[in-house]
Structure 1
Amino acid sequence: MPLVLPLALILGLACLLLLASPHPYLAPLAIPGVVALAVLYRRPAWGVLGLVALVPLEGLFAESGGITASKLLGLALIAIVALQLLLHQLPGVRLRSNLWPLLLLFLGCYLLSLLFSSHTGLSLLHLRQLAVGLVLFAITLLLCRDLDLLMLARLVALSVAGTCVVALVSTSHQVAGRATGLLTDPNYFALLITFAFPLALLLLLRAPRWPQRLFWLLLLTLLLAGLGQTGSRSGLLVLLLTSSLAAWNYRSSLQRLLLPRHLGWLILGLAITLPLAPSLLPDSFVQRLEALTSLKSGVNAHVDSSLARRSSYLLVGGEMIKQDPLLGGGPGTFPLHFAKTGYAIAFANRPLPEELYREAHNTYLSMLSEVGLPGGLLFIGLVLLSLRNFQVARRQWLSCGDQQRAALATHLGLSFAALACFLAFLSVPSHKYLWVMLAVASYLRLEASDAVAGRERP
């Protein structure tokens, strides 16, 4: 009852503001909006799940510049978590993580590089984007204890697979014949697919009945088909790597399955599928794979301009590191330095000014060249320590005999490994998946350590 009057006041104020806004037809949405806020206040961890599920849909509103569902949910979640911290409804001890020393040192190097940046405007924009990831990291740490990680896996797999359906049935979401899903870049789409694949595999292995197993198997097939439509060679490489790691993890189970009586069927299946594989892939993807054979004689811009462009990014990044190894050129300034070189004109697809300003397409190279060697190495350290956190959590859950949690840590670690590999092919230091998984890795290690300590305590 004490909340009735405040809620009525909030509802009335929201309706008045919407009626006075340029979009008065949104006023009826005030009531479900207030209800959603009340639910989010009771279950703030659902907000993290919602933000993760909305990542594959962000490209729909990339050029609108207006308020999107992701922004509204993020702002509401920030306000709710801040209020709960002030009211001591969320204990600050949940923020503990072994990543904080590296993260704080990285932020110190980042701010120093920002102060001496060659272009303050670009650096401030980069800082604003990175701040989103930092806030998401802190919020996920606070709420990870209430976060259903299996539901997180389901939402990631379903949302990414849904965009794969769009990529398969629609030709309007393509760039140069390569599928982008609901995003704007095929390689970014491939990143999401390779991230979702180990999670979908976990759900397939944990499915209790054959209809559920069939559902997740179809979803895995959708992810593979979507990856083929992206034409992403880096995505294929990362998928092969994570699949190899998964096969090594389950090597004892695979050995039991691959009995001598099954070997003939396996050879027959490979003999049928391998010759058919090229015909199942788009012609553009096959041509891009064939272009890799030219690497044995060096990178040739006439054979594959994409590989030549990536080589030029390495050269420009190396020059930036030579010029200022300690502080770099400033956060977000790589495109500015690249535009001043002859590579920018040589590799411009169209005679437009924006074609000259290109990202490094390598998050690690971006950090090393823009923030400096100390800051870049600290960022790499964050990624490596998080991979280590997943590994330690898996080992400790196995020592406790909890196979289910060990498998969860394994597959979340495989997804993060796929993301960490893809950071070498895309400049996405503020990616939501990255900062959510950094927090999840810290939480899993702490939870597993507490479980081991509780088991050893008499």
Structure 2
Amino acid sequence: MIFPLSIVSLLGLVCLGLLASPYPYLAPGAVLGLVGVAVLYRKPTWGLLGIVALVPFEGFFKDSALSGTKFVGASLALILMLQLAIHQLPSERLRSNIWRYLIWFMILYMLSLMNSDDLGMSFGHLRELSVGLILFVITLLIGRDLNLDLFAKLVTLSVSLTCVLAMFSTKYQDQGRAAGLLEDPNAFALLIAFAIPLGLLLVIRSPNTLHRLFWGGCCLLLLGGMTKTESRSGLVVLALSLLIGCWHYRSQLTRIRPRHLGFAMLGAAIVIPLAIYAMPAGYIARIQSLSVLSAGAKGHDDESLGRRASYIVVGSQMIRENPLLGSGPGTFPLHYATTGYAKAFSANRKVGDLYRRAHNTYMEVFSELGIPAGLLFVGMLALGLYNLIRARRAWMLRRNWEQTDLMTHLGMSFLSLTLFLMFLSAPSQKYVWIMLALTSVLRLKAEEAPLVEAKV
């Protein structure tokens, strides 16, 4: 392996240079970096799993120029580029039906950027989006080798741990609402909604009672964290996701006997009142406030709903003014700040409160990039869901029920992401782009698997 030897020599010289420099304490870091690069070179899927596990902890590094996620991502990207160049990875792995939408989306994105109302904001948006695009390519290249069971375990554990921090420490709360290590409780609720279907899969697949209790406890922590976020959108998305899961396992309802119904009713009689008692009073009030939607939400009835309604009004106006290319990536806050809504809904009239994002990724994309780019963005996500449906169907034809269940739970998690984008501005969310690439990888892998002949 001549190439890795050259890397070792180069980093060895770097270590010697650091020892001779005014910063010798950086030399051990270079050694650790060398070890990390060597591990990633041999096991690149570990890098992607590391990024997945670090996503909920990104708040620890928000003020750092070099975070763990950035280091792993940059190293992994360089390693995979070099492995492609020396043909250690086949270029066929980049094949995906998502490209037909993504390429045209990026062409329209760049055209919109060139006609942006504020180039500084647009380049900042492009820098954030480029992280998601890099993760998309990385997942395409190594997604076939990814251990999906370990993927589910890392997501469940990492999000559960941040739930513990958010539930029992006010440091990780925003005005009483759990935000984890993120600044927005709704962004934290998105992570929880993504993790719960994977946690339930681990409960179902647990080999023994001890494992089942452990993963069941993680699911309870996730549900507690969701409650503590007081996110109404999270409750709606989670309920829909669980209904889909119940429909998938409907065939197993035939195993329920009449004697089981009594225990189920007793459990419901105990759990439901306890859940209502444990639920924060503020969350119950926020859920009850949804009733104003039937009469039309007003700012004085519910400030949050009124503010979201104002985003739709401003976004619709931006679409009418620039239907083809929009106002430019990342420029929604610029337009919103000039309206009367910004001052009306600003709590303390600070500049940061005036420049607000749309809190709706779809509205943000349509208003900033134009209708064609918005349709392509929606098309990518819809195609991702369709890929998982096709992968599930392919495994059902092959009578591989374990993989069928896995596709169902991954589909529930990905659906949670796509639905949550209606309540949150997160076009560059890492899980979205990782899952988007993974959908096409899983479909190809399922359809390439040999069919099992039916036994007579």
For residues 321-369 of structure 1, give each alpha carbon's deviation from its aligned partner in whole angstroms, at most 9, with x where no partner exists.
1001111111111111101110000001112111100000011111111
Counterparts of 1:197 and 1:117, CA distance in 2: 39
Counterpart for residue 114 of structure 1: 113
* Deviation of 1:261 (Å): 2.2
* Deviation of 1:132 (Å): 1.0
Aligned residues: 453
* Deviation of 1:11 (Å): 2.2
Counterparts of 1:5 and 1:369, CA distance in 2: 49
* Deviation of 1:111 (Å): 1.3
SS at match of 2:171: coil
Counterparts of 2:114 and 2:71, CA distance in 1: 31
Counterparts of 1:178 and 1:294, CA distance in 2: 22
Counterpart for residue 323 of structure 1: 321
Counterparts of 1:271 and 1:256, CA distance in 2: 22
Counterpart for residue 146 of structure 2: 147
* Deviation of 1:454 (Å): 9.2
Alignment CA distance shift 1:455-1:388 (3 Å): farther
Alignment CA distance shift 1:111-1:6 (3 Å): closer
Q: Which moved more, 1:291-300 or 1:34-43?
A: 291-300
Counterpart for residue 294 of structure 2: 296
For residues 19-78 of structure 1, give each alpha carbon's deviation from its aligned partner in whole angstroms, at most 9, with x where no partner exists.
647x6433222222211111111111111111111000001222x142111111111111
Counterparts of 1:241 and 1:400, CA distance in 2: 28
Counterpart for residue 103 of structure 1: 102
Structure 1 runs not aligned, ≥5 long = none
Counterpart for residue 241 of structure 1: 240
For residues 112-139 of structure 1, give each alpha carbon's deviation from its aligned partner in whole angstroms, at most 9, with x where no partner exists.
1111111111111111111111111011
* Deviation of 1:377 (Å): 0.6
For residues 63-108 of structure 1, give each alpha carbon's deviation from its aligned partner in whole angstroms, at most 9, with x where no partner exists.
x142111111111111111111111111110000111111111111
SS at match of 1:172: helix
Counterpart for residue 68 of structure 2: 69
Counterpart for residue 12 of structure 1: 13
Whether the 8 Å contact between 2:14 and 2:30 is mirrored in structure 1 is no
* Deviation of 1:262 (Å): 2.1
- Which residue type is aligned with residue 323 of structure 1? E
Q: Does 1:305 align with 2:306?
A: no
Counterpart for residue 360 of structure 1: 358
Counterpart for residue 284 of structure 2: 286
TM-score, normalised on structure 2? Answer: 0.96
Alignment CA distance shift 1:391-1:5 (3 Å): closer
* Deviation of 1:240 (Å): 0.5
Counterparts of 1:92 and 1:448, CA distance in 2: 19
- Which residue type is aligned with residue 407 of structure 1? D
- Which residue type is aligned with residue 314 of structure 1? I
Counterparts of 1:6 and 1:428, CA distance in 2: 37
Counterpart for residue 213 of structure 1: 212
- Which residue type is aligned with residue 76 of structure 1? S
* Deviation of 1:449 (Å): 1.2
Counterpart for residue 345 of structure 2: 347
- Which residue type is aligned with residue 209 of structure 2? W
Counterpart for residue 176 of structure 1: 175
For residues 273-323 of structure 1, give each alpha carbon's deviation from its aligned partner in whole angstroms, at most 9, with x where no partner exists.
333322111122122112222223221212211110000000011001100
Whether the 8 Å contact between 1:227 and 1:236 is mirrored in structure 2 is yes
Counterparts of 2:418 and 2:404, CA distance in 1: 20
Q: Which runs of 4+ in 1 moved over 4 A?
A: 1-6, 452-456
Counterparts of 2:75 and 2:217, CA distance in 1: 35
Whether the 8 Å contact between 2:137 and 2:437 is mirrored in structure 1 is yes
Q: Which moved more, 1:235-244 or 1:12-21?
A: 12-21
- Which residue type is aligned with residue 252 of structure 2? S
Counterparts of 1:260 and 1:19, CA distance in 2: 78
Counterpart for residue 418 of structure 2: 420
Counterpart for residue 53 of structure 2: 53
Q: Which moved more, 1:376-385 or 1:286-295?
A: 286-295
* Deviation of 1:265 (Å): 2.7
For residues 404-445 of structure 1, give each alpha carbon's deviation from its aligned partner in whole angstroms, at most 9, with x where no partner exists.
111111111110000111010111011110010011100011
SS at match of 2:170: coil
Counterparts of 1:116 and 1:358, CA distance in 2: 21
Counterparts of 2:310 and 2:414, CA distance in 1: 28
For residues 151-210 of structure 1, give each alpha carbon's deviation from its aligned partner in whole angstroms, at most 9, with x where no partner exists.
111111110001011112211111111011122211111000000000011111111111
Counterparts of 2:433 and 2:393, CA distance in 1: 23
1:402-421 → structure 2 map (5 Å cutoff): 402-421=400-419
Identity of aligned residues (%): 51
SS at match of 2:323: coil
Whether the 8 Å contact between 1:15 and 1:28 is mirrored in structure 2 is no
* Deviation of 1:9 (Å): 4.0
Whether the 8 Å contact between 1:113 and 1:331 is mirrored in structure 2 is yes
Whether the 8 Å contact between 1:329 and 1:371 is mirrored in structure 2 is yes
Q: Does 1:203 align with 2:233?
A: no
Whether the 8 Å contact between 1:317 and 1:369 is mirrored in structure 2 is yes
* Deviation of 1:18 (Å): 7.3
Q: Does 1:429 align with 2:427?
A: yes
Counterparts of 2:353 and 2:362, CA distance in 1: 22
Counterparts of 1:303 and 1:18, CA distance in 2: 64
